[in-house]
């Protein structure tokens, strides 16, 4: 049996994710989004504070601040002072932001679904189980 190379598995996973993201980048741009901005929008409902977003998405806080400013300028996000802690801003998706997030997520889902389609239903279930076990 061949020795398992975790770095090779990591590399294959990264290449797969980047291929999926690259395949939809132009369509995301047409929605007015960069990929990381889509990821920010997708997490705002569960993590409405910029520091939380930075932590969950593993993105530096200054980058999250930049994305939030751009998304706010595009009308996708709204910042409000948190009434429970006046030092913090709470983020909210606007209707336009929710629509862009849903469309962008559908693009990524479709592109990833094409890749998953190369696997049988049993293999897809196995992959899901393995990924859940790893996370």
* Each residue's pLDDT tens digit, 22-76: 999 999 999 999 999 999 999 999 999 999 999 999 999 999 999 999 999 999 9
Q: Averaged over 94-116, what is the pLDDT?
A: 97
pLDDT band at 103 (very low <50, low <70, confident <90, very high): very high
Which candidate, 45, 55, 38, 58, places its Cα nearest to that of 91? Answer: 45
Tell whether the model's pLDDT for residue 94 goes beyond 80.
Answer: yes
Q: pLDDT at position 111, please?
A: 97
Contact 90, 49 (CB under 8 A): yes
Q: Which residue has 């932590």 as its token pair?
A: 55
Structure tokens at 65: 């601040």
Question: Mapping DSSP to helix (H, G, I), strand (E, B) and coil, where does residue 79 land?
Answer: strand
Structure tokens at 45: 């409902």
Q: For the chain, what percent of residues have pLDDT higher than 90?
A: 89
pTM value is: 0.86
What span, in angstroms and rounded, lies between the C-alpha atoms of 99 and 64? 20
pLDDT band at 1 (very low <50, low <70, confident <90, very high): low
Domain boundaries of the chain, sorted by first residue = 33-134
Q: pLDDT at position 123, please?
A: 96
In CATH, what number does 33-134 get?
1.10.10.10
């Amino acid at each position: 049996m061949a020795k398992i190379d975790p770095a090779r598995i990591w590399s294959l996973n990264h290449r797969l994710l980047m291929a999926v993201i690259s395949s939809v980048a132009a369509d995301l741009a047409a929605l007015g989004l960069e990929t990381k901005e889509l990821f920010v929008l997708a997490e705002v409902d569960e993590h409405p504070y910029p520091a939380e977003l930075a932590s969950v998405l593993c993105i530096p806080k200054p980058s999250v601040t930049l994305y939030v400013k751009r998304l706010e300028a595009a009308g996708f996000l709204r910042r409000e002072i948190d009434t429970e802690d006046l030092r913090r801003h709470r983020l909210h998706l606007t209707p336009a932001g929710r629509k862009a997030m849903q469309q962008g997520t559908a693009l990524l889902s479709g592109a990833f679904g094409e890749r998953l389609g190369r696997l049988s239903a049993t293999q897809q279930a196995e992959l899901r189980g393995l990924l859940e076990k790893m996370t």
